[in-house]
Structure 1
C-alpha cells in the first residue's frame, strides 16, 4: 500500500461517490464486486447517510469495500445518531436514546425511507463496528475533532476506540456524562458559548436559533473569539440581517485548549465547507477538511495522502455535485 484516499462526508450522494472513486483510480472487482485500488486504500470520515437520494447504494458500495479491505470507515455523528435513534432506553420503555421528536425524525427521515426493515438493522450493526478515530502512525483521521483528552475518556469508558455494545450508548447519550462530552467533541466538534462573550444568538441555515458556535480547533495558536468561532455559514440575526463580525476578544485558556498542536497530519470532515478545496482556508500545515457540502450542490472531496508530513493542497481531488 502506498497511500490513503480520505473521502469526505458522502451523505447518500451515490453517483458522486462512484465518480470520485473512478477519478481516484478505483475499479470494481469482478470477483468481489467492490471498488478496489491496486496499491491504495480509501478511508471514509463518516456521515455516509442522511439527506441524499442514494443512501442504500452508498452503504452497499462502502461496505463491499470495507469487507474486502479496500476501505476503512470512522464513525460520524450521523451514524452515531442513527444507532441512538434506533435504540430503546433500557430504563424507559417506549423512549429511545435519541428522542424521536419531530426535529430528529425530520433529519433522519431520508435514511428511514431509503434503508428499510432488516436491511437497516444490518447496517446499524455494521455502524457499531466503526472506530471513532484512526491513528495510522503518520496520518490521523477523525470525523470532527482530534482531541486526545476526549480520546482518553472514550478509551477509559469503552476499553477501545469504538463501541462494543448498544448498552454503552446509554452513557454516550446522557448529557453531562464525561463519555457524552467526549463523543460530542470527537463527532460534532467543540463549541464556544457566544452569549458568555456578550454576543447575541444567531440563526443557522435551517432557521434554528443557536448561542454556541463551533470552534476552529485546527487553527493552532488562535486565541480570540473572532479566530476561534466558526461563523462563516451565512448566519443571521433575529431580524434577518447578516451576523456581525465577532470582536477580537481574548478567550479563556480552557476555550482554546482544543487547538491541535501535533506534528502528525489530521484529516477530518463534518464542517460543511464551501468553494474549491485546494484554494480555500480549509487546510493548515497539519490539518485538512474533506467535507465540502457534497449533498448541498457542493463537492465530494478526498485528500490523497502519500506519506507527506505537511498537507499539500494540490492533493485534494473533488467531484462537483
Structure 2
C-alpha cells in the first residue's frame, strides 16, 4: 500500500510532520512504515526554507527502499542548469525565468557543493513515471506515447547527461517533448490575434489545461486547470482547441502533482488525483493513502499544515 505525497518544495519540517502523522518512524536514518511505502510526485527542491533537509529525507527513504520518487520539472531544470559542454562551460547562454527558482537551492548548497553534485547524480536515477498496475504516478501528465519514449531513455538505471543536453538544445526532439510533457503537462498557447481577459484583468498568453479531457466544445474556464487565475466562460474556437490525452475512466488510478491546487479539489475524477496542495502558498502538504481501492476516496486524503 502506498502514500502518495505532493510537491514538497523544500518544506522538510512539514514533510516530517506529515510522515509522523501517517505512522512513519525514523529508523537507521530513514523514515519507515511497517506496511506502507511513500511515493513522492516530484518537485522536492526550490522555494522552501529547508531544501537540503528535504532532499536528505527523500533520498534516504528511496535508497533504503522505503519510498519511491519521480522527477518533476524543477528537478529537470536543476539537472539541465548544471550541464557543461566539452570545454567545461555551461550549456545555458542566457538563463530563462524557469531557472530563477533554482538560485535558492544553489545558495543553500553553496558550502556543500560536493553534496549537491552527488544529489544531481542521484536525481538522474529517478524515474519519470511509475506504473504499478493498479496505480500510476507522474509529475504532471500521462501520455502512453510519452511513457513509452521515457522508458527507453534510461541506460544502466539512469538518465545520461546527453539526454538532458538534447532536451535543452533540441526542444522539438522526441526526448524533449516527452520529458516536458510528463513533467509540465500541456499549456494552451493563445494565438497572437486572440485576447481573452481572465478575472484579474490580464490576457494570458498561455495557461494550464485539463490534458485528461477532450476539450472540443469546452469554454476557456472549463478547459483551464490554473490555480492563479480564472478564465472566462467563452467557448474555445474549434480551430485552436489543443490536442490532449483523454484518460479513460477504466484506466488505473493516476496520481500527479504540479498544478498547485491550494484548497482543492484534489480528486478530479474517480481515477485521477492531484496531490499538489501548493505548499508555498498554503503552508500545507497533502498525501493520498491508497489501500487497494478501485475508486478514489476523499477520506483517504491527509493534509498537514504548519
Report if TM-score (shorter chain) is over 0.5: yes
Query: How many Å separate the matches in 1 of 2:190 and 2:130?
Result: 32
Partner of 1:249: 236
Q: Distance in 2 between the 1:253 and 1:136 partners? A: 35
- Once residues 83 and 77 of structure 2 are traced to their aligned partners in structure 1, the CA distance between those partners, rounded to angstroms, is 10
Superposed counterparts of 1:138-177, under 5 Å: 138-156=134-152, 158=153, 163-173=158-168, 174-177=170-173
Which residue matches 1:239? none
Report the equivalent of 2:95.
Answer: 101
Using the alignment, how far apart are the partners of 2:148 and 2:239 within structure 1? 23
Q: Which moved more, 1:225-234 or 1:49-58?
A: 225-234
Residues 113-138 of structure 1, C-alpha deviation per residue, up to 9 Å, x if partnerless? 11231010010001000000000010
Conserved? CA contact 1:131–1:161, under 8 Å? no
Q: After TM superposition, give the deviation of residue 281 of structure 1 in Å.
A: 5.6
Q: 1:105 to 1:172 in 2, by over 3 A?
A: closer
Deviation at 1:212, TM superposition (A): 1.7
Counterpart contact for 2:215–2:244, Cα < 8 Å: no
* 1:230-269 correspondence runs (5 A): 230-234=225-229, 245-249=232-236, 251=238, 255-261=242-248, 263-269=251-257
Aligned to 1:238: none
| Mapping for residues 53-202 of structure 1, pairs under 5 Å | 53-90=49-86, 94-97=89-92, 99=93, 101=95, 103-115=97-109, 116-156=112-152, 158=153, 163-173=158-168, 174-195=170-191, 198-200=194-196
Q: Aligned match of 1:12 in 6, 10, 13?
A: 10
Residue 63 of structure 1: how far off its partner (Å): 1.2
Q: Residues 195 and 203 (structure 1 numbering): CA distance in 2 closer, same or farther, change over 3 Å?
A: farther
Residues 6 and 258 of structure 1: is their aligned pair in 2 closer, same or farther, counting only changes over 3 Å?
Answer: same
Inter-partner Cα distance in structure 2 for 1:100 and 1:108: 14
Per-residue CA deviation, residues 198-238 of structure 1 (Å, 9 max, x unaligned), is 3348799xx9x8512112124x454324222324413xxxx
Alignment of 1:192-231 (within 5 A): 192-195=188-191, 198-200=194-196, 210-218=204-212, 220-223=213-216, 224-226=218-220, 227-231=222-226
Rounded Cα–Cα distance in structure 2 between residues aligned with 1:193 and 1:201: 14
Secondary structure of 2:76's counterpart equals: helix
1:190 CA drift (Å):
1.1
Cα shift readout 1:274-299 (whole Å, capped 9, x = no counterpart): 11x4xx26421110000011122342
The alignment of Structure 1 onto Structure 2 pairs a total of residues equal to 299
Structure 1 residue 251, shift from structure 2 partner: 4.0
Structure 2: which 5+ residue stretches go unaligned? Answer: none
Of 302, 308, 312, the match for 2:287? 302
What CA RMSD, in Å, does the superposition of the two structures yield over aligned residues? 2.7
- What secondary structure is seen at the aligned counterpart in 2 of 1:172? helix
Aligned partner of residue 52 in structure 1, secondary structure:
coil
Unpaired runs of 5+ residues, structure 1, are: 235-242
What pairs up with 1:266-285 in 2 under 5 angstroms? 266-275=254-263, 277=264, 280=265, 282-285=267-270
Asked if the contact 1:143–1:270 (Cα under 8 Å) also holds between the matched residues in 2, the reply is: yes
Residues 202 and 109 of structure 1, relative CA distance in 2, 3 Å threshold: farther
